[in-house]
A and B are shown apart, each in its own frame.
Chain A
Amino acid sequence: MSTIDKTSGLADADFAGDARKQSNLGDAFTDYVGRLRGGEMGSLPALLGLVVLYVVFGLANDKFLGLLNQANLVVQAGSICLLAMGLVFVLLLGEIDLSAGVTGGVCATFTALAIVDHGQPWWVGVLVGVAVGALIGFVMGCLVAYLGIPSFVVTLAFFLGLQGVILKLIGEGGSVPVRDEVLRGLAIKNIPPLMGWIGAIVIVAVFALLSLRQYRVQVARDLSRPPFALVLIKIGALAAVVLVITGLLNQNRSIRPNFVIEGIPWVLPVIVALLVLWTFVLGRTAWGRHLYAVGGNAEAARRAGINVNRMKVTAFMICSSMAALAGVMAASYSGKVSPSSGGGNVLLYAVGAAVIGGTSLFGGRGKAINAVIGGVVIAVIANGLGLLSQASWINFVVTGAVLLLAASVDAISRRRRSAAGI
């Protein structure tokens, strides 16, 4: 508007013009620091914690930084990352799913039984597992959304009940082996190095192209946008991370001279694919936008015409389906499904992973990448403490303390946000 009528002088003084001007790197950095101070921490605490953990464990044990152990770490983190990614959806609503670990166990049992007892191919087994997961999530979601039972109680009941289901399916003291080439190969086989390089380069190239295209659209339509240097820095950072990880994992990490182990474990592309999928769904689709809206202000979402109950049910279904994949991944790592699969501390590890990575327990804030970063932190703690051959009680205490620390960071950030109004 070029004309400003005289009555609106004061209003315009306060709404002091949209800063559509090209911001430079300094402004972007100042902005970022401001957001951090306002409690918008994201994954930064987790990344800093990861650096500290690597330094501490690296100094304490010379095997920790070895390539063999680092590749092992990727496989160990896989199941936690998948489960945590699923939990992000439920946490975004401000709900919780305490049964996710056991749900994974039940689904993996169905998968294993479909393959072993019914001679189905692996993909049918996985589909059966995911379908069972979706069904469990559907029932829990309906109980939470339509009956109004707190999710804490519903999922605690399923946590107990589903352990009984696994016992019934497998039998006391028994276990179902997972020997399928493909499924077992997820954890123990590696991608040929050349394919790994091609995949890595394709990922970097696609990311760079999409980033640049988005920037071009933003410039062409004169929308708010980050400084161009920041776009380049982000592309560079992603390229560095992807290529360094690929390079390291493509080296021979065998400790025996006549036996070669090289390549990226198959777990990693599975995680990356799901990470890309859920990042797209959460960030770029109407469904994802509505999920954030329901988590931020359910009443506002309802008034905007969003079916809040349906959002809840679908979020629980995605969470449980991801739990199914996590359960299959865990079975692939251990080579079997047993009545204790998915029990114990599996769920708390996953909740810890999501929260450590920067997903808020209060709803409305979180991303799929948070779960992956947090999952790596949890896996590093478990792996590092294991290498130090500490008694297992220390593992529990440390992991519990880290979860509490992450929840504290979350709560403090939230208070700072409401104080700063961000």
Chain B
Amino acid sequence: MSEYPLTGEPEGSAPVTGEPLLELRGVNKSFGVVHVLHDVDFAVYPGQVTALVGDNGAGKSTLVKVIAGIYGRDDGDYLFEGKPVSVNGPRDVGALGVEVVYQDLALCDNLDIVQNMFLGREEKNGLALDEATMEARARDTLGSLSVRTVKSVRQSVASLSGGQRQTVAIAKAVLWNSRIVLLDEPTAALGVAQTRQVLDLVRRLADRGLGVVLISHNMTDVFEVADRITALYLGRVAADVPTREVTHSQVVELITAGRSGSLGIAENPATATV
């Protein structure tokens, strides 16, 4: 697929088979003597929410930063739509249509919603800013995500609730016809109703055909929206499974012990290699 309509019928969960939009194969990453990622395979499928789970220090953040192009890879392949691409920095990744929404949302409180969404990529009309086009596009994007903004898209971001701020940050990532959105702990600081809003939005992104990566500690959230779960344990992929084939407690075991029944890493990785 080359383009995604702004408004479309929800496609539901796509089958697991099919070409991944983005794929990492056999990625290793070390910082000095610390080997953080071991032969990590990771795939993001269009129209699916892939949850990336793991305990603190399992390598989630490092993996996200490798995907985002902030860290380079020691070895391993970076494939986009099945073709290897050379990624030498965040700009290359942005050009592929991959956007990352970090936990601290990186919004400017003194600017309004439209200004924040277009920050650094303003539409211009000669020398002056083209406010009308920017406002119309921001409104279209928010509308296509079924977000009816609070009062006005001209509202200052400081006056928004946590969930609404998260929504703006996500909408900002979607505005540029992104193919993949990575969300780093999007519900960590939110209350019940706001978490609800954000999870609905995450689901809607996938229904529009985007590949969504959800990094989360919250198993309830993961089981609610994710189609696939990739569990990291000490820098290795412990499991990459469809959500409906695992239970809550299995995932917790994968996170804490790296294995659960037939799933997971065969031997204790701490003794197997390093």
Contact = CB atoms under 8 A, between A and B. Distances in A.
Nearest to A298: B108
A26 interface: no
B200 interface: yes
Interface stretch (B49-57, B58-66, B131-139): B131-139
Interface string B188-225: 00000110110011011001000000000000000000
Interface in B135-188: 135-136, 139, 143-144, 146-154, 156, 158-160, 163-164, 167
Given A15-B197, A18-B153, A422-B159, A221 B136 contact: yes
B129 A289 contact: yes
Given A10-B193, A289-B115, A300 B107 contact: yes
Interface stretch (B24-32, B119-127, B235-243, B248-256): B119-127
Nearest to B225: A7
A297 B105 CA distance: 11
B33 interface: no
Contact of B148 (A17, A303, A417): A17
A267 B108 CA distance: 37
A282 B258 CA distance: 55
Contacts of B108: 292-293, 296-297, 300-301, 364
Contacts of A7: 200, 203
B135 A296 contact: no
Contacts of B204: 5, 8
B148 A296 contact: no
Contacts of A420: 159
Interface in A1-38: 1, 4-5, 7-8, 10-12, 14-20, 38
B119 A304 contact: yes
A280 B152 CA distance: 24
A301 B159 contact: no
Interface string A293-321: 10111011101111000000000000000
Nearest to B163: A14
Contact of A285 (B7, B106, B127, B201): B127
B120 A290 contact: yes
A10 B164 CA distance: 13
A7 B127 CA distance: 44
A38 B155 CA distance: 13
A1 B7 contact: yes
B109 A297 contact: yes
Contacts of A38: 159
Interface string A124-149: 00000000000000000000000000
A286 B128 CA distance: 7
B111 interface: yes
A334 B163 CA distance: 58
A422 B156 contact: yes
A218 interface: yes
A285 B149 contact: no
B122 A289 contact: yes
Interface size of A as a range: 35 or more
A12 B148 contact: yes
Contacts of B105: 300
Contacts of B146: 1, 4-5, 8, 11-12
A301 B119 contact: yes
Contact of B135 (A224, A280, A364): A224
Contacts of A296: 108-111
Nearest to B194: A14
A295 B110 contact: yes
A295 B108 CA distance: 9
Nearest to B122: A286
A217 B148 contact: no
Contacts of A202: none
Given A5-B146, A10-B200, A285 B132 contact: no
Interface in A211-245: 217-218, 221, 223-224
B122 A10 contact: no
Nearest to B204: A8
B95 to A, nearest CB: 12
B144 A289 contact: no
* Max chain A C-beta neighbours (<10 A), residue from B146, B201, B204: B146
B10 A5 contact: yes
Contacts of B149: 15, 18
Contact of A19 (B135, B152, B196): B152
Given A18-B153, A224-B153, 15 more contacts: A5-B146, A8-B146, A16-B148, A223-B135, A284-B129, A290-B119, A292-B115, A293-B108, A293-B120, A296-B108, A300-B106, A301-B108, A304-B119, A305-B120, A306-B119
Minimum-distance CB pairs A-B, first 8: A304-B120, A296-B110, A296-B108, A364-B110, A300-B106, A11-B197, A15-B148, A305-B120
Interface of A: 1, 4-5, 7-8, 10-12, 14-20, 38, 217-218, 221, 223-224, 280, 284-286, 289-290, 292-293, 295-297, 299-301, 303-306, 364-365, 417, 420-422
15 contacts: A1-B146, A5-B10, A5-B207, A7-B200, A11-B147, A12-B148, A20-B152, A217-B132, A286-B124, A289-B122, A292-B115, A297-B107, A300-B106, A421-B159, A422-B159
